[in-house]
């Protein structure tokens, strides 16, 4: 009897450094002019607290960190352990520091999506970035487009990672011409299966990737 598969244990990882990464580009963009204004002139409220935005340049560590993590995370979601870095963000996107407080606090904001979303972390943006790399086919699974919390989006990420890993294992264990990618949907670990909507959405997104890997 084969050993029982463990539930959703895969996570997004970094491989190497930005300096050694292979540069990649976004294949599409949903970027538009922002529907809200972002004050870039240093401004203080009557309370003395700062509240303005400052563009983050490609030379800054935050820019390199985001583009490197995005490249690596998207590689992982495609079943690859590749060290990649995006040369820039999608066209018409803007990357800002939001500077607030009497003792200035710097928070990164990635804006420009047609959805109106403000992405504050790489995990918030990674599923939206994947959708852009898939030429905006189907429904984006990020929390702003698909709804729910970031915890829900993380479940979708886990689903994609586990399904991709199962595709690789299936390909190693049996001939490609007997593989049916739809069979993998029923094998998604129970921990992820508690969110059936996430399973269905994520599985739909990975079927093409799975088919390529099981038939290639």
Q: What is the mean pLDDT of residues 118-140?
A: 95
What pLDDT, on a 0 to 100 scale, did the predictor assign at position 175? Answer: 57
pLDDT band at 180 (very low <50, low <70, confident <90, very high): low
Check residue 31 and report its DSSP letter. B
What pLDDT, in 10s, does the model give residues 101-123?
Answer: 999 999 999 999 999 999 999 99
- End-to-end C-alpha distance for the chain, whole angstroms: 28
Provide the H-helix boundaries in the chain.
61-77, 122-133, 143-146, 150-173, 190-193, 196-215
Average pLDDT in the chain:
80
* Phi-psi region at 133: left, alpha or beta (left = phi > 0; alpha = psi -120 to 50): alpha
What pLDDT, on a 0 to 100 scale, did the predictor assign at position 196? Answer: 52
What span, in angstroms and rounded, lies between the C-alpha atoms of 162 and 8? 6
pLDDT band at 211 (very low <50, low <70, confident <90, very high): very low
Q: What is the mean pLDDT of residues 184-197?
A: 50
Q: What is the mean pLDDT of residues 164-168?
A: 77
What pLDDT, in 10s, does the model give residues 46-104?
Answer: 999 999 999 999 999 999 999 999 999 999 888 888 899 999 999 999 999 999 999 99
Would the pTM count as exceeding 0.95? no
Pick 40 or 189 by higher pLDDT.
Answer: 40
Domain extents for the chain? 17-124, 148-216
Residue 148, classed as helix, strand or coil, is: coil
- Is the pLDDT score of 182 beyond 90? no
Percent of the chain with pLDDT over 70: 72
Residues 6+ apart with CB under 8 A from 59: none
What pLDDT, on a 0 to 100 scale, did the predictor assign at position 88? Answer: 97
* Nearest one of 120, 128, 133 to 25, comparing CA atoms: 133
What pLDDT, on a 0 to 100 scale, did the predictor assign at position 89? Answer: 97
Residues 6+ apart with CB under 8 A from 194: none
Is residue 129 within 8 A of residue 135, CB to CB? The reply is no
CA atoms within 13 A on the CB side of 145: 23
What pLDDT, in 10s, does the model give residues 29-42?
Answer: 999 976 678 899 99
What pLDDT, on a 0 to 100 scale, did the predictor assign at position 208? Answer: 45
What span, in angstroms and rounded, lies between the C-alpha atoms of 34 and 78? 30
What span, in angstroms and rounded, lies between the C-alpha atoms of 163 and 31? 30
């Amino acid at each position: 009897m084969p050993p029982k598969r463990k539930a959703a244990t895969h996570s997004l990882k970094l491989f190497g450094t930005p300096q050694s990464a292979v540069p990649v580009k976004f294949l599409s963009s949903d970027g538009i002019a922002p529907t809200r204004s972002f004050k870039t002139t240093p401004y203080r409220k009557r309370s003395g607290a700062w509240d303005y935005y400052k563009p983050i340049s490609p030379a800054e560590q935050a820019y390199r960190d985001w583009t490197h993590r995005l490249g690596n995370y998207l590689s992982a979601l495609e079943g690859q352990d590749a060290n990649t870095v995006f040369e820039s963000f999608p066209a018409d996107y803007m990357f800002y520091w939001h500077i607030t407080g009497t003792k200035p606090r710097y928070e990164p904001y990635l804006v420009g999506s047609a959805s109106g979303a403000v992405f504050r972390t790489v995990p918030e943006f990674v599923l939206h970035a994947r959708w852009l790399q898939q030429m905006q086919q189907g429904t984006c699974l990020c929390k702003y487009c698909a709804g729910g919390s970031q915890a829900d989006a993380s479940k979708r990420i886990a689903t994609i990672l586990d399904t991709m890993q199962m595709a690789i294992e299936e390909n190693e264990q049996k001939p490609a011409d007997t593989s049916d990618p739809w069979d993998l949907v029923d094998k998604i670990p129970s921990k992820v299966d508690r969110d059936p909507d996430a399973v269905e959405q994520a599985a739909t997104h990975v079927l093409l990737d799975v088919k390529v890997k099981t038939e290639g």
